[in-house]
Amino acid sequence: MFTSAAALLAAAVLLPTARAQWDPQAAQWGKSDPADVRIMTWNVHDGLCSTSAKSEGANDWTALACTIAALQPDVLVLQECGDNAGHGTGTGVDTVADLATTLGLLVHGGFDPFHGVPVGACVQTYAPGFDLPFAFASFSTDGFNRNAILSRWPFADLNGDGKATLSDFSMLPDKWVATAGGGGIRGYALAEIDLPDALYAGDLVVGDSHLKAGSGQDDHLARVMAAQRIAYVIDHLFNGAGSGVPDPDDVIQDTPPATSLLAPATAVVSAGDWNENEDTDGTKGPAEWIIAAEILGGTDGTDRDGSDMARDEATDWFTGNPSSLGGTKYDYLAWQDSIATLRRAVIFNSQTIPIGSQPVELSAFPGSYTQVSGLASDHRPVFVDLELPLAGCHDGRDLGFGTPGTGGHVPHAMVCGPLISGHLVTFMLQDALPQAAVVAVAGLGSVSAPYAGGTLLPAPRLVVAGLVTDRDGALALRGVAGDGGPMDLYVQWIVQDPAAVSGKALSNALRVSWMP
């Protein structure tokens, strides 16, 4: 057992817990918990292309920027990007390089090389502290548009195949997948995202698909076949289909091949415009295939544990309308709910928001805020806030400087919990002398001060005395909940130990950094 005590830090460095920011009635559209991950899918209907006029005004470019600024997704999954002809301002689909440049201009602004003028409006015009610095534009195109994924966090190879992003896959027929191929006419873009280890126990994989449009039977079959292959890839490449190894039947043409499954706390999320409303037509379409594979409610689902993934039942917050395009539900998110837990799923439509409830970022729109969604796209963005497994205990930034005590053991300092504003963490001490008196030292800065034959780092020093290790030489204290961040805190422990120099053993010093 650990000895508990009063909070480690006094009011000088103990900041208030971040308040919940989800209350649309009161014009608060942020996340309830800052550790939640907001993923938003949006078919932007040609409004995002290189030839688009990027001036501020009552236009699609500004409406896109205002909406993203208002909802501030951690991961943004886009379809119908780069279509200059569809936008009516040019011809052909953007190259990958041109679309990547355009994505950067949408978020950050800057000089528009396609028009030779500065960008007049961007996401950071309306939300200066928000950023999506990592962007992936898919190489797959149907000749008209591309998929794209933007992220708050960097892309990184998570399964050992040497790739952090993928525009599409290729596979042979197998089991209930009757056709060879990939993710459909626009591909299945995949991004493997490296979440901060100090916050989350795992990472994240996000897929993006824009399935074939059309109301004919052939169109439906094209969507279903693409969804079958997508389900196979999720279940076999990332989950291992219960085998413990990726692609156990050697069907997916992954070159070089993946060498490992995703870590147990890493969730797969699949999103996009799937072009079929399965809530009303009564058929088994792409959504059911992607979440459940062949048998709904069976053991062949695409969740990590073999069950079905969950999919959103998002509605407009104020009206309860489930439609994302006209009167239909075409835009979906699905997630592995054995790993990720849904906080909420919402369809955003500025036209239905009462006066006084609109996000402040929309209030800056040069026109009526109710126009924003209609100008941005014919589709409405759909987002989910997901609770992902949070970080356990780790060394923060271990700066060293510990000194040995009894048995040559150096007391070991750790921190447990997600280092994000609004979350309390636990400061841990282990490997110290049992039943020993302990002093905790903390500071917002550091100096190298000689002490008891070692070095004491925290400064200016806040000291908490009167602490005692338990019979295992351990101690735990609840500590800081940073609000607003970023914030650095230096922590070190002094243990009374007769075998140590000057009778005092020092733990390693930690630099604990909170993210905003």
Indicate the pTM of the whole model. 0.84
What ranges make up the beta strands (E) of 235-330? 267-273, 310-311, 315-316
pLDDT digits (tens, 9 = 90+) for 477-493: 876 665 556 778 899 99
Encoded tokens for 25: 């009635």
Residue 88: per-residue pLDDT: 77
CA angle 153, 75, 423 (to 5 degrees): 65
Residue 186: per-residue pLDDT: 95
Give the separation between CA 366 and CA 55, rounded to whole angstroms. Answer: 11
Encoded tokens for 460: 């200016």
Q: Are 334 and 271 in contact (CB under 8 A)?
A: yes
Q: How far is CA 380 from the centre of its chain?
A: 20
Residue 417: per-residue pLDDT: 82
At 233, give phi and psi (nearest 5°). Answer: -65, -45
Q: In what order do the strands lie in the sheet with 267-273?
A: 165-166, 188-193, 204-210, 267-273, 331-335, 310-311
pLDDT beneath 50: ranges in the chain: 1-20
From the list 107, 52, 80, 60, the residue with the least C-alpha distance to 376 is 60
From the list 207, 222, 356, the residue with the least C-alpha distance to 285 is 222
At 287, give phi and psi (nearest 5°). Answer: -60, -45
Scored b (16 or more CB within 10 A) or e, 312-344 reads bebbbbeeebbbbbeeebbbbbbbbbbbbebbb
Residue 179: per-residue pLDDT: 85
Encoded tokens for 2: 């650990």
Dihedral sign (CA 214, 216, 218, 222):
positive
Give the separation between CA 234 and CA 266, rounded to whole angstroms. Answer: 12
From the list 78, 177, 71, the residue with the least C-alpha distance to 127 is 71
Residue 13: per-residue pLDDT: 35
Cis peptide before 173 (omega within 30 of 0): no
Q: How far is CA 10 from the centre of its chain?
A: 33
Q: Are 325 and 362 in contact (CB under 8 A)?
A: no
Encoded tokens for 260: 């490992």
Encoded tokens for 503: 């009778």
Q: Are 484 and 18 in contact (CB under 8 A)?
A: yes
At 242, give phi and psi (nearest 5°). Answer: 80, 0
Give the separation between CA 307 and CA 335, rounded to whole angstroms. Answer: 12
